[in-house]
Structure 1
Amino acid sequence: MSKKRIILIHNEETTRNWLQENLEKKGYEVTGLPDKEAQVRHEVVELMYEKLYDAIVVDESSESEPVDVLDEVRKHFPEANTGFVYMTPKPQPAPSYEQRLADQYKGIEYPPTPERVERYRNAGYEIYEDDTPVEEFLRVVEKVVTGKAEAPEA
C-alpha cells in the first residue's frame, strides 16, 4: 500500500518542519510549502498534477486565503478525494473597531472569529485548533485522510 500524501502550508519554517517530521513518523509522505500568497495556490496545483495528494493542511497565519486553495484544487481536480485541514488558534470574538484601529500600527494580530472558522468548516475544511497537543493534530489529519479518526490515547 502506498503512503498517504499531504501538502503542509505553513509560514513558520521551524513549525512546518516539526509538523512535517511528526506526520512522517506516522508514515505520511509530506511536502512542506512556505506560503507566498497567490503563488502557493499555483504550487499546490502543480504538485497535484504530478500526483494527487490525500490532504492539504493550511495554517491560519498563511498569507493565502485557505478557501482559495480549496477552490483551486476543486476546480482543477474535481475527481480528487483530497481532504483539507485548517489550523487555527482558538477562535475569539472580534475586538471593537476602535480597538483594531488602535492596534493596527502595533502589529497586533487577532485570532480568527468564530464566524470565519465556521466559514471554512462550511467550505469543507476540518478544523484543528493549534493550541492543542500535536496528537490531536495527527488525529485530525488521520480523520481527513482516512475518513475515520483514531481513538484518543487514554
Structure 2
Amino acid sequence: MKTLLAGLLALACLLSLGACDREGRPIQEFGLDKLAKGISTEADVRGVMGQPDTVWEEESGARTLEYPKGPEGSRTWMFEIDRSGKLVDYRQVLTEETFGKIKPGMSRDAVRRLLGKPKSVAEFKLKNEEVWDWRYLDATQKTRMFNVHFDRATGRVTGTSASPDPQANY
C-alpha cells in the first residue's frame, strides 16, 4: 500500500512539473512549454502557435505576433519578437490588468494593439456608439465579457464595461 501511495505521489509531482513553462509559469496554452525567451526564434513561435492573426511591425524593427484564440476562446496571446528575430516575451492580454489600461479618449487602433481582435463589434446608431467585446476568464475562472465603448463619430473610447458571458453555463 505504501508503494502504491509513493508511486501516486511521484506521478503527481511529475505531472505538476510538466505543467510549467521554461520560466516556471503555469502553462495556459499547448506548446508554450517549448518556447524560451531570448532563445526561441520567430520561426519557433510560429511552429508552436501557427500563423498569427496579425503581425504588428514596430519602428525599431521588432514585431508583435497576435494570436486570438476566439471567437469562442477566452485568451489572446501577444508574442514580442526583437529585431534579430528572437522571442523577447509573451503574454495573455485578456486580463483585468490589461483592461485597466483602456482609458477614455484612446483610439480604436490603440485598443486593438492592447487587446487584440475583438470577439464581436456591435453598432448602436441611436446612441452613436460602437461596442467591441472580448470573452475572458475572471479571477474565479468564469467566462465574462469585457466591452469597450467607442464614439462612432470620433472612434475614441468613451468607456468600458464588463458583463456576464451570455453563452456561459453557470
Would the TM-score normalized by the shorter structure come out above 0.5?
Answer: no
When the two structures are superposed, what TM-score results if normalisation uses the length of structure 1? 0.25
Higher strand share: 2
Q: Which has the higher helix share?
A: 1
Which of structures 1 and 2 has the larger relative contact order (alpha carbons within 8 angstroms, sep 6+)? 1
Bigger-Rg structure (1/2): 2
Q: Structure 2 length as normaliser, TM-score?
A: 0.23
